[in-house]
Structure 1
Amino acid sequence: MSVILINPNSTEAMTQSALHAARAAAPDLNIEGWTSKHGPVSIEGPEDGARAIPPLLDLVTRASNEGAQAIILACFDDTGLSEAKAIAKCPVLSIGQSSFVLAALRPGSAAVITTVEDAVPVIQQNIVQQGMAFSVTQVLAARVPVLTLEDDPEAAAEAFYRAAEGLDEGISTVILGCAGAVTISERIDGVLSQKILDGVTSAARLARAVIA
């Protein structure tokens, strides 16, 4: 059976972008991409996250029952993570938590640059609850809608560059805080001096470890 990457929103293009990045990061794994067709078109804060959870959990149950080796939740807000872990019979990885884990193994401090301001408190809370505040010390918003990452990646990258001007001194790792940011990771990596992590790549690499 495959590793199942589930996009909790209903935008198929984001699923395909995330799937491409996951397969590139773990080419030895058989990774499938599923889209939550009854989820919101994007997740930009707690209200969207709450709407996304019920249909997401339906897909988690299906993937688990069909024998998935692991499940990747492709939403940086870690939407539905605790609920998914409670019902799945296989490892469940989220892209937010996965990137925090890898950042914690690197020297220095890490910062998240996410899309919209409404996502900032959600991510900050996750960092604290997951015990990662010692490593991930800053969360910034690029103030760009999630879907711009698909529709106009050049404009999205410019917004992330501008947000990076506010990075605290001593930040050595920048985490791109949205599944859709896989479309701009190479652009960002070529400009910023910090190590760049994206959550989808992080989760795919950790999936290799947990099912080895």
Structure 2
Amino acid sequence: MRLCFINPNSTASMTDKIAAAARAAAAPDTEIVALTSRTGPASIQGPEDGEAAVPGLLALVAEHADAVDGFAIACFDDTGLFEARRLTHKPVVGIGEAAFLEARTGGRRFCVVTTLSVSIPVIQENIETYGLAADCIKVRASEVPVLALEREGSAARETVAEEIAQALAEDRPDAIVLGCAGMADLAQAYAARFGLPVVDGVVAAVRLLEGRVRA
């Protein structure tokens, strides 16, 4: 099985992080192909960036549709998800979609901790579109810019952790969803630190996509 993870932004270091997380979660017989948009913005923060990223994303889907068994859109906003599904008969999932479905397993209710406030309306709209509004307590912003997660030595990881702690105190969720592909390397550490499930969309997308391809 060959699964293609497409980073709709043009930051290659984020693609590398996505690929590492996906490969660690994949079954032994699953090959992960990770692609970076050639024309997308450096990061996707809000609807304008999302719109700018769609053409490059769709170009990669069309280019690789015959070479892989399924696609994951590796932006938590699920940028261009429905447009991509119209281009191929192969399964296409979004990492946001996958994270929400995994977080609600067993009747859990969850909070999303994302980057900037500008992303909140997009994420909330997606949750409603997927019919999962009753499962999500709140979408919270840590006010960490996406690219800060790529800088060694930045305070971004601790700032996100502080927002998770506040969510636990105020909202009392059963699970936390990390609302950015750039957080793909943080879920296990946060789960150990806070003692509850912390869902990363990249890992969740591997599981969801493997299941859909096999089906």
Q: Structure 1 length normalisation: TM-score?
A: 0.95
Cα distance in 1, alignment partners of residues 115 and 35 from structure 2: 23
The C-alpha deviation readout for 1:71-99, integer Å capped at 9, x for no partner, is: 01100001000101111120001100001
Structure 1 partner of 2:155 = 155
Structure 2 partner of 1:4 = 4
Q: CA RMSD in A?
A: 1.4
State the 1:131 CA deviation. 0.4
Structure 1 partner of 2:178 = 176
Cα distance in 2, alignment partners of residues 60 and 20 from structure 1: 21
Cα distance in 1, alignment partners of residues 33 and 165 from structure 2: 36
The C-alpha deviation readout for 1:117-171, integer Å capped at 9, x for no partner, is: 1101110110011101111221001110111111137622211122123314330
Alignment partner of 1:44 is 2:45 = yes
Structure 2 partner of 1:35 = 36
Structure 1: runs of 5+ lacking an equivalent: none
State the 1:183 CA deviation. 2.6
Residue identity in the other structure for 1:70: G
Cα distance in 2, alignment partners of residues 202 and 67 from structure 1: 22
The answer as to whether partners of 1:103 and 1:136 remain within 8 angstroms in 2 is no
The answer as to whether partners of 1:157 and 1:188 remain within 8 angstroms in 2 is no
Cα distance in 2, alignment partners of residues 133 and 10 from structure 1: 31
Cα distance in 1, alignment partners of residues 103 and 190 from structure 2: 17
Structure 2 partner of 1:116 = 116
Alignment of structure 1 residues 60-209 onto 2, 5 Å: 60-64=61-65, 66-152=66-152, 155-167=155-167, 168-209=170-211
Q: Structure 2 length normalisation: TM-score?
A: 0.93
Cα distance in 2, alignment partners of residues 98 and 146 from structure 1: 20
Structure 1 residues 197 and 59, CA, compared in 2 at 3 Å: closer, same or farther?
A: same
* SS at 1:111 equivalent: strand
Structure 2 partner of 1:22 = 22
Q: Which stretch has the larger CA shift, 96-105 or 154-163?
A: 154-163
Residue identity in the other structure for 2:123: I
* SS at 2:106 equivalent: coil
The answer as to whether partners of 1:8 and 1:39 remain within 8 angstroms in 2 is yes
